[in-house]
Every structure is written in structure tokens, then in C-alpha cells.
Structure 1
Amino acid sequence: MFVDLGVRDFLDRAELVYPDRVAVVDEPDQPAPSWGEVTYRDMARLARGQAAVLDALGVAAGGRVAIVSQNAARLLVSFFGVSGRGRILVPINFRLAAAEVAYIVADSGAEVLIVDPEVEHLLDTVTAKHVFVIGRDDENIFGVPGSTATPVEWSGDENTTATINYTSGTTARPKGVQLTHRNLWLNAVTFALHVALTENDVLLHTLPMFHANGWGMPYAATGVGARHIVLRKVDGGEILRRIAEHGVTIMCAAPAVVTAALDAAAAWPGEIPGRGTVRIIVAGAPPPTRVIHRVRAELGWEFIQIYGLTETSPLLTVNRFRSEWEADEPMEQARRLGRAGAPALGVRIAIDEDGEVLARSNHVLDAYWNKPEETEKALAGDWFHTGDKGSLDDAYLTIADRKKDVIISGGENVTSIEVEDALIAHPAVREAAVIGIPDEKWGELVTAIVVTDGSTVTAADIVAHCRTLLAGYKCPKRIEFVDALPRTATGKIQKFVLRRPFWEGRDKQVN
């Protein structure tokens, strides 16, 4: 027997097994009226209503529905209401400029565009056949309240595209990543297995849902009947308050979110919420060892690191504390947890002759939307080429850097992440990014862009500190102090922005 895998499976099961359980607690502070608490029965009804509306609009299976929204219950429902019956959801980064959103809507060929009231200004320049604003046009998005409309059924081919997720486009036009129902189903189930997700979990959406479909957690948490707590905007204090109020047990986050929680904890009265019960899953960049140690020691949360890309749905590797490490010192335990992790079930990882990380799994994208040459390049040799440099040691993957970010200074390769880890270990350094800039003598000069805690620390102090941890050639030769580092909406540092003033006017970005 063969049964197609589909994203609707997760909500169908939740409605069947947990109909009266609260599925989602919507963000209370938002421009659209909050939905408050929604049960799994009502969540499934809303998803059917959305599918029926798309039927009435004439959006056929395979049609694209774009949505620009911060985290919201309406966005969560759309993962099932749109894709659950064969249409393709295109979740768009709400921080993008109008021209960038217009490009994605046009490139994807979206027939329907749904926007959050906070970004309604996009509609001045972004157009689609059908345009709706969340809250104001809810009946045109999810149907009449209380409706029991029955949408047209869909054949359920697992190899069809369920979502098109556009990459951040930090160096060029973003590419649309086509993820199939099979990709998303297996990613969600594998993720749930590795982080031991159960019906008793309470998921706080600290990760933007648009980003790689919330790493698959909207599907996985729904399938096991867990409770979703919607957080619209990341704030360290608010994260702690939601944990205390709702009994949150699990979160997904970029390193910047971890830092926000640590900062808020310093002023939190009494015991930190979630001590001994919260597990935080981190990806987007390898966090510094000291930060990992602080999460475990100061917050008392379990730290789990994963590695993956939008193109891999995203799960490739998982790093969770092992009993074999019990005897290690806490900082050594943190160092071990700083690795990207071991391959997840069903994933194969290899390193090619250039040091690039390659992957094979059921989670790897079907294709880049309308980009056959890019697809062929990314999947050359039947392996997905991540563009990251790394190494494997005892089955554990360590990411060295993006291939283009390796600094060659005086003929020696310098891994920026290693230097950044040393910089962050200085108590006065809040954040740091390391880049190479052109230099006549060394070829490229190791340069640190640093955000401090506001103290009077000097560049000489920081370099002296680095020399206690790194070989001399790895230490920054130049340090620039800034108030903040440029980041994408998902917390990744935009190193191309930092490099730009140093490399402008040059034909090549290496020296």
C-alpha cells in the first residue's frame, strides 16, 4: 500500500484526536483583531473555509497564494488552508521593501496576495489578481464566521509543491525554493523525533513562521496536538513573560533571540521561567561557546543546535546533549554543543575536495522556481551543494564558514567563526562579525566589526584578549566599533553589507 504524504495530515489528525484542545493562542497585541484561543476543531474549520474561498476565487490546485505577515494565527492556519488542498503557499518576509515583495509576487505568479495591516502600504505598488488585508478582509480569506463550507477535494500527490520559500537574497535576487509535501512532511516528522516533541509541549513561535515554514514546527506541533503560542515581535522580556504565563516548553530561535533572552533574564525578578523545562533550538549561525554555556547555566534551558537551509526544509543535522558528555566540564560541554551536529535520520552528509558541505535527504528541495540552471548547479552529482565550508569529526559536522567568507591572510586560511567565538568570549563584547578586507601586504586583513556593552574597552584590549585564545595570524588586525550589526529578518548577519565599503570598485571580492 502506498499513501501520499501531505501537510494536511497534521491538522486532520489534530482535529480527529484533539478537537476541543486549544490549538493556538493568538498574539493579543496586533493591528488585526486577535483570534484569542482557537481549538483544533475551529482551526481545521478555518482552514477548510480558506480552501473553499480559494475554490470560489477560481484558484486551482498549483495556484500560488502569497502572504506577508508577522507571526499570527491567521498565518498558521494558512499553512493548511492553502497547501492542504493543493495550492502553493508563498510566505514572504514582512521586513522586505515594497520592490522586493513585488518581485517575489511577480516571480511566483501569485494570484492572491494577503497582507498584514502593518504592511498594507505595500499595496500602493504591489499588485495581484486578488488582494486582501488581514482582519479587514477575513471573510474573503477564511470564509464567513461559523461557515461549514466543504472545499473541493485534492488528489494529494506528495511530489507536488506545497510552498515556495524565497531565500533572503543577500547577494542577488532571491530564489524561490520549491518544497514538496513529501519534503515538508518528512522534515516535520524527523524534527519532531529528534527534539522529542509530544502532545504536552507548548511551542512559543519566537521564529518567524515565514522562514523555512517555521522550520517545520507549525506542522509538527499541530500533528502531535501541542499548543502554539504566537509571538508577533521578539522581545527578551516578553519571551520570559510568555514562558511564565503559558508554560512554554519549546522554542526555535536565531542566536540574536538567545542574546535578547539572556539580557532580559538579568533584570528578571525571581527564578527564570522555564528552568529545567524549556528547550531552545538554535540555528542560523553557530552561537559562541560562552553564549551556549550561559543559556544552560543562567537560564537553565536545554540548548539544542540544528543546521540546515531553506533548500533542505531545513533539517540536516542535530546536536543535542549526550549522556557520554556528563563528565566533561561545562565549557567543554558547551563547546561540543557548538557544533552543527550529527546527521538527522535519513540525512547523508559529505565534504567535497574544496571543503564544501554536501547533503542528501528526503528534505532537499525539488527545484528553484523557474531557475533550471540554478537547480542543476545546486543538485550537481545528486548531492545538494550547501555553499558552506565545514568538517566532519566523529560524525559531527562543524561549519567553518560560507565558502566566500574564508579569509586568506598571508597565505593562511582564517575561519571567521573561530575568530568571532574568541571575540565574544571577551566580557565587554556583545556581538562581533569578522570579515576580510583588501590589504597590499597580507592580501586580506582580518577585520572585526564589534558591538560592545558600552564600556571603555579599546581595540588593543580586544586584540590582547584574542591573542590568549588564537594564533597570532588569526587575531584581528583591525577593529571597527559599531552600534549594531546588519541582520536579515531571521537574525543572520549580513556580511556583504559590512564588506561593501572596503571592496567597492574592485572586480573581484578576493585579494
Structure 2
Amino acid sequence: MRLHALTGDDPRDVLRTLRGALHGAGPALGLGLVGEPPSEVPAGTAVVMTTSGSTGVPKSVVLSRDALISSAMATADRIGSGAWLLALPAAYVAGLQVLVRALVADREPAVLSGRFTPEAFASAALTMTSSSGGRPVPTYTSLVPAQLNRLLDAAETDPAVGKALRSFERILVGGQALPTAALERAEAAGVRLVRTYGATETSGGCVYDGAALRGVSVRVFAGEVQIAGPTLAEGYLGEPDRTAAVFAVDRDGTRWYRTGDAGLIDDALLRIHGRIDNVIVSGGINISLDRVEKAVRSVPGLASAVVVGVDDARWGEVPVVVASRGEALRRSESVQFEEARGVVADRIGAHARPARLVLVDEVPLLPSGKPDREAIRAAVASLH
């Protein structure tokens, strides 16, 4: 099957190619591909999407038509069907699925063009009013927590933003954990939220408010959250070994996606409590703390620094550099911090820049001599 790789993320271009891919009439859609894309992909492929994944290293996820459509139909089964507003980048799976849901519902999606602002969001949302058979058509959208917080802040002084938020039948929020304070603010403002959990490998969110969507199975095996069902990706393009390692097959033939998340099932609801690996999700983007730490340690005076992830009201989690005061003060603290941010931006990207530099008298160590990351993380969190 042919692959049409887009170099940009213009929603109109994505929608045009996606429409043909889902109908089986056009080439598969390639988004964010790194290097020279292949001309052919497996039959049945609708989208090949590059993601930073749980390791922070790019990988190309192969999503079939059946997986994407199954996800959209399961969402409609849970929250209803209607008109969708795209307020996320179309090149990310959460944005892509907004377009898929709209196409499956046979409705043209509304698109928030340009830079995301509360004013632009309100304007787009309040023009979506329509009816069918004399009944209002429900509207839906999908956001990340940082967007939601910004909208809730704006709603306090701009009634139009509050009205826009309340106009949606449901607003899906995912990409990272939603802080309890934000959930309570939204509920107090009359906003109907659904917290979603999933990954590119599961065609986006597949667990809503802790409960798996129709057809999706969730288990916690050896402390790791694993997912099965019709929404799973085919694997990673051109990487059979990685595919086999991440998509495990049981003796009974059930195929499970190993999320890398630690969690538990409590009262039939899935609860996530961190990563098995050393990765955080900040503003909906996976950041490998190992890669950030390696970059930071190249800065003079920070050779033994440790990078941990801490909770942040806006971004969910952010990287924080912790270093020994005795080592770090050989140079100006502010200079070191800015150099660390610059190095990380150059090597990984601006999204991974540390939020703070914290100096301590002594970095806690384990008996093995390795940094005690849990103690360091707790100490940084206590500073709030």
C-alpha cells in the first residue's frame, strides 16, 4: 500500500488524506516521519505516526483503518456521537482521533486554526450550533490539561469562554494526568469532562474515567498496565524486534500492548501511578529524564546532577535539576541553569527544558551509591 507522507501538520491536508485512507480509496497517511519515508506500508494501514514513545526516542507507529475506526466507534458508544472541534495538533494521536471521530460520524469537523487562545476556542465552539431532525447536535472536543487550565483561567473574566466550555456535551482530557484541582475547577464551572488514558499504540484514549471502552481489555501484569483489543496498532514500521517486545502475545493468542506505566485496578477502575521507566509526560509530550540528565551533566558544575520529574499545575509534570551545592557553586547558579536549559533544548527540544535548578547540601544516595531518586523527588516536592 502506498504511503503519502506529509511534511506539515495543516489540519486540512491531514483531513484530506485521512478521509481517503479510512475509506480505503487513497494512500496511507504519514505524519511526523523521520528520515526518508518508505513508499509502501502494510495493507490495511491508514496512518503511520511518529511518536516519542515511552523512551523519548522517535518510533513510527502503524495504525490500521480497523483500529482507528474501532476506537472512534467505541468512543461514540461511551459518550455519544455528534460534531467535533479540533483544538489539538492533527499530527498527534489525540488530534488525529478527533478527525477520525468526525469522519465516522459523517460530519465535517470544526477546526481551530492558528495559535490556541481562549478567545479563538470560544469563537469556534460557539459557532458549532446545529440541529438534526429538530434536535440539537451534541458537540465534543479533546484537550490537554494545559489547554483546559488556560480556558478555566480565562473563563473567570470572560463569560464567552465559560459558555463555550459548557456548550460541549463532553470534553475529553488526556495526554497526561489531570490534577485533581483542575477537575474540581471544571466541575464547579459546569464543564463536563472525561479523563482519558491511552497512547498512540492504542489509537489514542481507550480508558475513560478509569473504565475501558467497549472491546478493550486492561490488565496489570507484574505491576505494568497492559491493554488488548481492536484499537491496538499493528506495531512499529520496520522494527520487528521492538514490535515483538512491546506487543506481547499470550498462549491463548491475545495480543497485549505493554504500556510501560505502573498501575493497579481498584474497584474495577484503572489507576495509574507513574512510569516503570524514567519518563514523564509534560504538556502531553513524553520526556525521557535519562536523556535530559545526560545533557545537563555536560554543563560545567553539573556533572553529578540528577534530573527528576515533579508535579506541575500547568504542565502535569516538569523536569527539575538537583545538584550538590558544593559542586554547583563553582559557577553562577543562574548561568548554570540557563546553560542547562540551552543544552537540553539543543539536544532534545525546547519542550524538555528543566523548569528549575535546586541546590542541596548533599544528593541522597542509595546503598549502591546510585542517586536515591524517590528521596530526591520527595524532597523537591516538599519545597512547594
3-state SS, counterpart of residue 88 of structure 2: coil
Q: Alpha-carbon deviations, 1:144-182, whole Å to 9, x = none?
A: xxxxxxxxxxxxx9x622211111368554111111121
Partner of 2:219: 350
Partner of 2:248: 380
Task: Check if 1:395 corresponds to 2:268.
Answer: yes
Partner of 1:160: 44
Instruction: Please say if residues 348 and 361 of structure 1, whose CA atoms lie closer than 8 Å, have aligned partners that are also in contact.
Output: yes
Partner of 1:191: 75
Give the structure with higher Rg (CA): 1
3-state SS, counterpart of residue 272 of structure 1: helix
Q: Alpha-carbon deviations, 1:416-451, whole Å to 9, x = none?
A: 99x72xx64xxxxx55636586789xxxxxxxxxxx
Give the counterpart letter for 2:11 in structure 1: A
Pairing 1:49-448 to 2, within 5 Å after superposition: 62-82=1-21, 84-85=24-25, 87-92=27-32, 103-104=34-35, 106=36, 108-110=37-39, 160-168=44-52, 171-197=55-81, 201-212=82-93, 214-233=95-114, 234-247=116-129, 249-269=139-159, 272-274=162-164, 276-278=166-168, 279-298=170-189, 300-319=190-209, 341-353=210-222, 355-381=223-249, 382-405=255-278, 420=311, 424=313, 430=314, 433=317
3-state SS, counterpart of residue 232 of structure 1: coil
Q: Tell me how far 1:71 sits from its aligned partner.
A: 4.3
Counterpart CA distance in 2 for 1:494 and 1:391 is: 29
Counterpart CA distance in 1 for 2:117 and 2:161 is: 19
Instruction: Please say if residues 343 and 395 of structure 1, whose CA atoms lie closer than 8 Å, have aligned partners that are also in contact.
Output: no
Give the counterpart letter for 1:235 in structure 2: T
Partner of 1:150: none
Counterpart CA distance in 1 for 2:7 and 2:218 is: 34
Counterpart CA distance in 2 for 1:265 and 1:499 is: 27
Q: Tell me how far 1:316 sits from its aligned partner.
A: 2.1
Counterpart CA distance in 2 for 1:313 and 1:285 is: 16
Give the counterpart letter for 2:176 in structure 1: A
Q: Tell me how far 1:245 sits from its aligned partner.
A: 2.8
3-state SS, counterpart of residue 383 of structure 1: strand
Counterpart CA distance in 2 for 1:214 and 1:275 is: 18
Q: Alpha-carbon deviations, 1:74-101, whole Å to 9, x = none?
A: 3212102345325221022xxxxxxxx6
Counterpart CA distance in 2 for 1:400 and 1:64 is: 38
Counterpart CA distance in 2 for 1:79 and 1:508 is: 48
Q: Alpha-carbon deviations, 1:43-63, whole Å to 9, x = none?
A: xxxxxxxxxxxxxxxxxxx11
Distance 1:90-1:292 versus aligned 2 partners, 3 A rule: same
Counterpart CA distance in 2 for 1:80 and 1:74 is: 10
Instruction: Please say if residues 295 and 301 of structure 1, whose CA atoms lie closer than 8 Å, have aligned partners that are also in contact.
Output: yes
Q: Tell me how far 1:383 sits from its aligned partner.
A: 1.7
Give the counterpart letter for 1:287 in structure 2: L
Distance 1:268-1:87 versus aligned 2 partners, 3 A rule: same
Counterpart CA distance in 2 for 1:368 and 1:66 is: 16
Counterpart CA distance in 1 for 2:179 and 2:101 is: 28
Q: Tell me how far 1:227 sits from its aligned partner.
A: 4.1
Q: Tell me how far 1:220 sits from its aligned partner.
A: 2.3
3-state SS, counterpart of residue 109 of structure 2: strand
Instruction: Please say if residues 152 and 162 of structure 2, whose CA atoms lie closer than 8 Å, have aligned partners that are also in contact.
Output: no
Instruction: Please say if residues 21 and 47 of structure 2, whose CA atoms lie closer than 8 Å, have aligned partners that are also in contact.
Output: no
Q: Alpha-carbon deviations, 1:483-511, whole Å to 9, x = none?
A: 9xx99xxxxx956x4399899xxx98876
Q: When the two structures are superposed, what TM-score results if normalisation uses the length of structure 1? A: 0.52
Give the counterpart letter for 1:76 in structure 2: L
Distance 1:209-1:387 versus aligned 2 partners, 3 A rule: same
Q: Tell me how far 1:388 sits from its aligned partner.
A: 1.0
Q: Tell me how far 1:379 sits from its aligned partner.
A: 1.2
Instruction: Please say if residues 86 and 162 of structure 1, whose CA atoms lie closer than 8 Å, have aligned partners that are also in contact.
Output: no
Q: Alpha-carbon deviations, 1:13-54, whole Å to 9, x = none?
A: xxxxxxxxxxxxxxxxxxxxxxxxxxxxxxxxxxxxxxxxxx
Distance 1:434-1:225 versus aligned 2 partners, 3 A rule: closer
Instruction: Please say if residues 216 and 227 of structure 2, whose CA atoms lie closer than 8 Å, have aligned partners that are also in contact.
Output: yes
Distance 1:212-1:346 versus aligned 2 partners, 3 A rule: same
Distance 1:175-1:208 versus aligned 2 partners, 3 A rule: same
Counterpart CA distance in 2 for 1:182 and 1:223 is: 12
Counterpart CA distance in 1 for 2:176 and 2:202 is: 16
Greater fraction strand: 2
Distance 1:169-1:396 versus aligned 2 partners, 3 A rule: closer
Counterpart CA distance in 2 for 1:218 and 1:378 is: 27
Give the counterpart letter for 1:285 in structure 2: Q
Q: Tell me how far 1:362 sits from its aligned partner.
A: 0.9
Instruction: Please say if residues 313 and 365 of structure 1, whose CA atoms lie closer than 8 Å, have aligned partners that are also in contact.
Output: yes
Q: Alpha-carbon deviations, 1:362-394, whole Å to 9, x = none?
A: 111112100011001001243210011111111
3-state SS, counterpart of residue 176 of structure 2: coil
Partner of 2:294: none
Q: Alpha-carbon deviations, 1:180-204, whole Å to 9, x = none?
A: 121112111111211211xxx3321
Q: Percent identity?
A: 27
Give the counterpart letter for 1:498 in structure 2: P
Counterpart CA distance in 2 for 1:290 and 1:75 is: 35
Q: When the two structures are superposed, what TM-score results if normalisation uses the length of structure 2? A: 0.68
* Ranges in structure 1 where 5+ consecutive residues have no aligned partner: 1-61, 93-100, 112-156, 320-340, 408-415, 425-429, 441-479, 488-492
Instruction: Please say if residues 46 and 65 of structure 2, whose CA atoms lie closer than 8 Å, have aligned partners that are also in contact.
Output: yes
